[in-house]
């Protein structure tokens, strides 16, 4: 049973490095699948501000040239470690650095081409974001 009263809006960033590779993070919250970095939008926070903050907190990276990719709805799916209702707002963003400093949520990271990434164990919505980026 969900304890939430409302869906939680979240932001995610498909981060493209200077060499065109994307950043993926392995997360225990997503059953050790690869995901794009991101998180919740705080009350009173604008969407782009939340994206920049979450990316900085989770990876240490600064991002720019932010563009909306798509939105997805996640309702109590088994890939997340607890039952939640999320509204994912996913963006494409660039970074000038490939020096990643993971916070406690990430176990590992990889810079990889988008096509090669599709061969990794990806969380369902991350796969959708990469496929959308490639089309």
* Within a domain: 128: yes
* Within a domain: 116: yes
pLDDT-based confidence at residue 75 (cuts at 50, 70, 90)? confident
Q: Is 135 helix (H, G, I), strand (E, B) or coil?
A: coil
Question: What is the C-alpha to C-alpha distance for residues 106 and 59, in angstroms, rounded to an integer?
Answer: 9
Provide the domain count of the chain.
Answer: 1
* Within a domain: 57: yes
Q: Is pTM beyond 0.85 here?
A: yes
CATH code of residue 65: 3.90.79.10
Nearest to 63 by CA among 24, 89, 98, 115: 98
* Within a domain: 1: no
Question: What is the C-alpha to C-alpha distance for residues 50 and 77, in angstroms, rounded to an integer?
Answer: 24
Structural domain span for residue 77: 8-134
Mean pLDDT of the chain: 93
* Within a domain: 2: no
* Within a domain: 77: yes
């Amino acid at each position: 049973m969900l304890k939430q009263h409302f869906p939680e809006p979240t932001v995610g960033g498909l981060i493209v490095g200077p060499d065109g590779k994307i950043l993926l993070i392995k997360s225990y919250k997503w059953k050790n699948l690869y995901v794009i970095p991101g998180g919740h939008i705080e009350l009173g926070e604008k969407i782009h501000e939340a994206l920049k903050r979450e990316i900085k907190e989770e990876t240490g990276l600064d991002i720019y040239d932010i563009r909306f990719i798509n939105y997805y709805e996640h309702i109590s799916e088994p890939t997340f470690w607890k039952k939640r209702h999320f509204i994912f707002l996913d963006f494409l963003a660039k970074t000038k650095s490939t020096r990643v400093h993971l916070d406690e949520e990430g176990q590992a990271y990889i810079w990889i081409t988008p096509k090669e990434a599709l061969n990794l164990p990806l969380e369902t919505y991350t796969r959708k974001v990469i496929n959308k980026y490639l089309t």
